[in-house]
Amino acid sequence: MLKFALSFSLGLVAPALAGIVSYEGNSFPEDVEWERRDTHFSADRWLQGGWFFQSADIVGPGPPELPEEDIYEYSLACFEGGATLFVEWRIETDGPREGIEACAPAVLTVSGRAGIFYHFTIAKDQVRFIHTDLSVLLSDIEAGLPHTYRLELDADGFYTWYIDRQVIDVGVAEGPYPTADSRVVFGARATGGTITARCDYIRFGTIPEDGSADFDSDEDVDSRDFYFFHECLTNDRPGINGGPDEDAGPGCRFADFDADDDVDLRDVAVFQQIFTGTE
């Protein structure tokens, strides 16, 4: 499926309508409004086959070992006070789990100076989740494959962690999130040797719950919304099962217009009826 970079956050509308920010891995993050952090030792990076690759190594013979890294961040200020926030990240790394406590080899955090944060650290065969209260949850994953990691924060004050659409943990959030100083940070860091990470996409924002199909909350239903809808209808990405009687999963609830837990031709008919084109 053709991939393209999208960035839809709309700071001039109400927080609940802040929309979706979607970074697709066929461009460098700073080209679509991410801020790249200055680091002492920058990792290599390149684009290939619709993926964003990062490769980091250890600098010098040590000790101490000095890791290369490549880190990006994006403000969540426009989502402050939103009813439901999600963050979804599809990535693969070959880095060992031995570095997972040092925020390596691949990391994504949603955090802020208010002290509320949610933290993913990914190795080739294990993921570590950390919540604000510093509780740690480890989960083994299959090596050699990209996996999809998702966090949802709902209006009732609960958080849910997912791996490949499967619920890993549910708990009570420590406080309102996001706040005005909140941000998403992701990157790769060397641990004990050369590591490579490849990112398919990072998406975050509010989940539309009004059945409008206006996934990017720009007050129309057009080809940009169809991009996400079509992804839920097909099996183009692993972890998404489109079609009758196939569980749409958390990443595709917005596309299930008839609320029967799948995304099929009935939902296509609804999408066609409400398609407006760019206004």
What is the CATH code for 6-206? 2.60.120.200
Q: Which residues of 35-72 are buried (b: 16+ CB within 10 A; e: fewer)?
A: eeeeeebebebeeeebbbbbbbebeeeeeeeebbbbbb
pLDDT value at residue 82: 66
Residue range 95-111, pLDDT digits in tens: 999 888 888 899 999 98
143/263 Cα distance (integer angstroms): 29
Asked if residue 230 lies in contact with residue 254, where contact means CB atoms within 8 angstroms, the answer is no
Q: What are phi and psi of 118, to 5 degrees?
A: -135, 135
Residue range 164-175, pLDDT digits in tens: 989 999 988 887
123/101 Cα distance (integer angstroms): 10
Q: Quick one: three-class SS letters along 200-231? A: EEEEEEECCCCCCCCCCCCCCCCHHHHHHHHH
- Is residue 268 within a helix (H) or strand (E), and if so which, with residue range? helix 265-274
Asked if residue 181 lies in contact with residue 114, where contact means CB atoms within 8 angstroms, the answer is yes
Average pLDDT, the chain: 83
Kindly indicate the confidence band of residue 279, based on its pLDDT and cuts at 50, 70 and 90: low
pLDDT value at residue 115: 77
R_g of the chain computed on alpha carbons: 19
Asked if residue 132 lies in contact with residue 118, where contact means CB atoms within 8 angstroms, the answer is yes
User: What does 176-200 look like in DSSP terms, one character per residue?
Assistant: ----TT-EEEEEEE--SS-EEEEEE
Type of residue numbered 71: I
Q: 98 vs 143, which has greater pLDDT?
A: 143
76/216 Cα distance (integer angstroms): 15
263/235 Cα distance (integer angstroms): 11
Residue range 3-49, pLDDT digits in tens: 333 333 332 222 333 478 889 999 999 999 999 999 889 999 999 99
Mean pLDDT of 61-78: 85
Mean pLDDT of 180-199: 92
Please report, for the chain, the start and end positions of each structural domain, with discontinuous segments joined by +: 6-206, 223-274
Asked if residue 120 lies in contact with residue 55, where contact means CB atoms within 8 angstroms, the answer is no
Residue range 193-252, pLDDT digits in tens: 899 999 999 999 887 665 667 776 677 888 878 887 888 887 666 556 677 888 877 878
**Residue 119 confidence (pLDDT) above 80:** yes
pLDDT value at residue 245: 82
**Residue 134 confidence (pLDDT) above 90:** no
pLDDT value at residue 211: 60
Mean pLDDT of 56-61: 83
**Residue 190 confidence (pLDDT) above 70:** yes
129/110 Cα distance (integer angstroms): 12
pLDDT value at residue 124: 95
pLDDT value at residue 194: 92
Q: Quick one: three-class SS letters along 160-173? A: EEEECCEEEEEEEC
- Is residue 233 within a helix (H) or strand (E), and if so which, with residue range? helix 223-233
270/267 Cα distance (integer angstroms): 5
pLDDT value at residue 167: 92
Q: Let me know if 12 is exposed, middle or buried by CB neighbors in 10 A (0-12, 13-18, 19+).
A: exposed
Residue range 252-262, pLDDT digits in tens: 877 888 888 88
Q: How far apart are the first and last CA of the chain?
A: 26
pLDDT value at residue 238: 56
